[in-house]
Every structure is written in C-alpha cells, then in structure tokens.
Amino acid sequence: MNPSSDEWRRLIEEIMKCRKCPLYKYRRNPVPGEGSLETDIMFVGEAPGAREDETGRPFVGSAGKLLTKLLEGIGIRRKDVFITNIVKCRPPRNRDPTDEEINACLPYLIRQIKLIKPRVIVALGRHAARVLFRISGLRWENMSRMHGRGYDAYIDNIHVKIYPTYHPAAALYYPKLLPVLEEDFNKLKDIITRVRRDKTSKKTILDYF
Ligand code: URA
Ligand code: SF4
C-alpha cells in the first residue's frame, strides 16, 4: 500500500474527532474533503454549509451543484479533482469563520496539500484566496483585480499555482458574475490541459503561465 495512505487515514481520523476550535460544538459532521488523491488540481472553498454539514461531503448544496456544473462544462469530473474547504466544520448560521478558527484548521489543509502535491489550487472565493495567499507569503488585493490568473506560490516547499476565482455562491447571488466565473473556468481548462499534456516532459509548471 502507498505509504501516504496511512497518513491520509490518520489525517481524516484527526479531522473527524477534532476539537481544536469552537466549531466542533455546532457541527453535525466534519467535512474533510473528497475526490482524487492523485490529482493535479485542488479546489478550496470557505467552509461547509448546511447540506455539507448534514452529509459530511463538500460542495453538495446549491453552490456545490453549480461547481459540479462548471467542472462538467470544462470536461472535468468531480471525482478526478480534490475538493475541500479552508475550515472543515460548519460555522453556525453560515457566518464567516473567524481568524482563530481558520488558523486552528489550517494545518489540515496544509497536510492535504503536502499529500496531494497539486500543480494548481483553485481558490473559490475571497476567503479561500486571502488565506492561501497569506500562507504563501503573497499579497492579496481583491477578487475583481486578481481572479482568473495563476499565481506562483510555495506552500510548505511545494510549488503550486494559486488560481483565484469567484465563489459559486456569489454567482448564484449576483447572476452577472456567472459568465465571469464560466470564463475563469475556461481559462482554467487551458492551464489544466497544458499541465497534463506536459506532465512527463521536462517543462516545469513555471512554463505554463
Ligand atoms: N460553500 C463552501 O465554501 N464550501 C462548501 O463546501 C459548500 C459551500
Ligand atoms: Fe477542528 Fe477545523 Fe473543525 Fe475547528 S473547524 S473543530 S479546527 S476540524
């Protein structure tokens, strides 16, 4: 068995019984994330919502349905990428997670990144983008200026591109954002195609953007 599968199992078990921040008191189920562990692409949202808390699965409510549709629109199946969130437990009434909660939960995300070693991490929404930029030592400005491009980053010595885009929930709320999000996914598709095609060549990810 792959030696990292033990580490995966440990990680999931730790998340399932975690009490490192107050969110454990309100959750029904922690939502560690799901998908392929051998993927080039991770999607990181903000926090589980009601449906996610009920099912223990990420992005299964209305925003999740839109995410699934956007992925299908560029020929990607959910099971071929890894989908997770900055915090693994649902904040009460879907409020934003606090800095304390984010910092308590971040080591889990960093361990997931170290195990998967993705080439591209798609930050869904400004909260995910802000946190991913911060842990990479990059300066986050705002989504309208920075979405739809890959930014070189090192997270725990792993070289990734962080690709910020709007949260699917934002496009449900402001329908004018939907075409913007679709365009960002189309650009993402080009990046992923190049990463996959050239994976075995000598090129590094730096050559793709
Ligand atoms: N919104 C998120 O940020 N994450 C989910 O898993 C669901 C909705
Ligand atoms: Fe633990 Fe993260 Fe859940 Fe807080 S949100 S209890 S740190 S798993």
Are the C-beta atoms of residues 208 and 194 closer than 8 Å to each other? Answer: yes
Cα(61) to centroid of ligand 1, in Å? 8
pLDDT exceeds 60 at position 202: no
pTM for the structure as a whole = 0.93
Backbone angles phi, psi at 48, to 5 degrees: -60, 150
Supply the residue whose CA is at minimum distance from atom 2 of ligand 2: 105
CATH 3.90.190.20 fits 6-197, yes or no: no
Q: How confident is the model at residue 195 (pLDDT cuts 50, 70, 90)?
A: confident
Query: Which ligand has its closest atom nearest to the C-alpha of 22?
Result: 2
How many A from CA of 14 to the centre of ligand 2?
10
Contacts of 57 (CB under 8 A, 6+ apart): 31, 34
Cβ neighbours of residue 164 closer than 8 Å, sequence gap 6 or more: 122, 123, 126, 128, 129, 132, 143, 146, 147, 148, 149, 151
The number of beta carbons lying within 10 Å of the beta carbon of residue 158 is 15
Which tens digit of pLDDT belongs to each residue from 112-146? 999 999 999 999 999 999 999 999 999 999 999 99
**What are the structural domain ranges in the chain?**
6-197
Q: pLDDT tens digit string along 12-27?
A: 999 999 999 999 999 9
